[in-house]
Structures are given as C-alpha cells and as structure tokens.
Amino acid sequence: MRATLIHDGPVTLDPDWLRRRFAAGAPARAPVYGDQGVDIARPAARRPASVLVPIVTRAEEMTVLFTRRTVHLKHHSGQISFPGGRAEAMDAGAEGTALREAREEIGLDLARVEVLGRLPEYHTRTDFRVTPVVALVAPPFELRLDAHEVDEAFEVPLSFLLDPANHQRHAREFQGRQVPYFAIPYRDYYIWGATAGMLVNLYRFLAGAAVTS
C-alpha cells in the first residue's frame, strides 16, 4: 500500500500520510496553471468542471484509477482522463461534481470513496477551469462503465506517477505554433495534456509536504 516520494528527501506514502498532507493544506510548489498558452487574465470566464483523482488503496500498492474516453466525444475524445465533467447547478461544490461524474461515468460506489481535498485549478484550452478532487478509494469495488463516454478503466501504480523521472515534456503543433505539454507514458497508455498536468500538480503538492511520514 506504500509508494515512495522523493524531492527534498525520501517520504514513504500511505493513506494516513496522504490524509495528514491534505489536512495540512500547504500549497503546491509552482503548480502548472493549465494548458500552455491559456490566457491567465480571464479565469472566471471559463466553465467550471471537476475531476476525481481516485487513489485506490490496494494492499500490495496504491494505484490511481483512470479512464479512456470514447472516440466520438466532443472534447478530449480517445484520451486518458480522470472521471469528471462540467459542474451542474445541483452539485454540492467541486466535490459534488467529481463524485456525481464518477458515479455516472464508471459506476463507482461512493460509499467506498473518502475525499481528501483539492488540487489547484487546471485551465484548459477548451475553456474549462477544472478542479481536481483527490480521494481514497477502498477495495473491493466493481465498476459499471458508461459505454457512451468510457471505453476502458485501468489503474497505474501511484509510485510510478509520482516519480519525476517519468514526467516528460513534449511539444506538438497547434494553430501554427509548437505548444509544449506534459506526458507520463505507462506501458501501452499515453497519459498527456491536462491529465498529466494535474498529476504533476499532485506530485508538486505532495513533494512540498509540511508533514513527515
């Protein structure tokens, strides 16, 4: 159930350490604001959305649960993402949005979910400001995927995602210019863009820990 985080020094992560870290509330170190080139002068004009960052507390090793979006969706089709979507009027804040979307998209039993806290908002080129809500998910659980939105759900070891050696920087052409982005490839999965940027923010938040193991 443990993963090792190394920044200023080694820290051994487990669910209790994560609870203390989020309770301490210290900010992330130099968080990624959003997609490269997003206008930082107009954040309030973007549509609010939330995603759930589900850390699964498996006995052998903690993992993070991801989805692969279906190819026909309007935004981020075919990409790897967290369960989530735009805020609705009936949602109880960012946490309510993230939990509702996780239940709708992958059928996650919310009785197995313990919300820890939020990461910094991530602003996308598709005009959303996304609040990542980090939570622990206790096995066992069964998922029921919404076939309209989700092709696949899978897990990646938390230790792999928190290793800065796996945080790659690439660039692609967008509207006639080269735009850099983060990527964290894992086996046959290519985690990139907003999802990778939020994972980098998770690493920076945990690496700036004000509590010890």
What pLDDT, on the 0 to 100 scale, is given for residue 212? 38
Instruction: Report the distance separating Cα 206 and Cα 184, nearest Å.
Output: 17
119 vs 209: CA distance, rounded Å: 13
> How much is the pLDDT for 92?
96
Residue 55 lies in a domain: yes
Q: Which residues contact 50 (CB under 8 A, 6 or more apart)?
A: 84, 85, 87, 91, 94, 95, 97, 98, 101, 130, 131, 132, 133
Q: What is the pLDDT of residue 70?
A: 86
Q: How confident is the model at residue 36, as a pLDDT?
A: 67
At 124 the pLDDT is 87
The answer to whether the pTM exceeds 0.85 is yes
pLDDT at 39: 64
Q: List the chain residues with pLDDT less than 50.
A: 210-213
Q: Tell me, what's the pLDDT at 38?
A: 65
212 assigned to some structural domain: no
How many structural domains compose the chain?
Answer: 1
Residue 162: inside a domain: yes
* CATH code, domain with 42: 3.90.79.10
Domain containing residue 42:
3-207
Q: Phi/psi class of residue 37: alpha, beta or left (left: φ > 0; alpha: ψ in -120 to 50)?
A: left
